[in-house]
């Protein structure tokens, strides 16, 4: 399935609904850092903030790193449906 385009506000809303926090001060330069606590530690991923839409390659990587994929029990429909 090809991923729908997400704007920054949509991505932030989706990630917050899954308990993911954002800390722009932990990003480098124009990046912002999204992170989530798990029993085995904190996992995070920096994403560059360029343009109105978030590149799908970063959405895919964020989902994998933060355990928000179908393999982790979060379907594409559930993830993108939280816009």
Convert the pLDDT of each residue in 4-58 to its tens digit. 889 999 999 999 999 999 997 886 778 899 999 999 999 999 999 888 999 999 9
Indicate whether 70 belongs to any domain.
yes
How many other C-beta atoms can be found within 10 angstroms of the C-beta atom of residue 47? 21
Q: What is the CB neighbour count within 10 angstroms for residue 62?
A: 21
Structure-token pair, residue 20: 């993911």
pTM value is 0.90
Residue 71 is assigned to a structural domain of this protein: yes
Tally the domains of the chain. 1
In a domain, 1, yes or no: no
Per-residue pLDDT, averaged over 50-69, amounts to: 94
> Quick one: average pLDDT of 50-78?
94
Its domain, for residue 17, covers: 6-80
pLDDT at residue 1 greater than cutoff 60: no
């Amino acid at each position: 399935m090809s991923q729908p385009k997400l704007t920054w506000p949509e991505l932030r809303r989706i990630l917050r609904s899954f308990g993911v926090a954002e800390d722009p001060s932990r990003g480098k330069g124009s990046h912002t850092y999204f992170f989530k606590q798990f029993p085995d530690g904190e996992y995070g991923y920096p994403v560059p903030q360029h343009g109105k839409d978030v590149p799908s390659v970063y959405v895919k990587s964020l989902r994998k790193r933060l355990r928000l994929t179908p393999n982790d029990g979060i379907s594409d429909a559930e993830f993108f449906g939280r816009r």
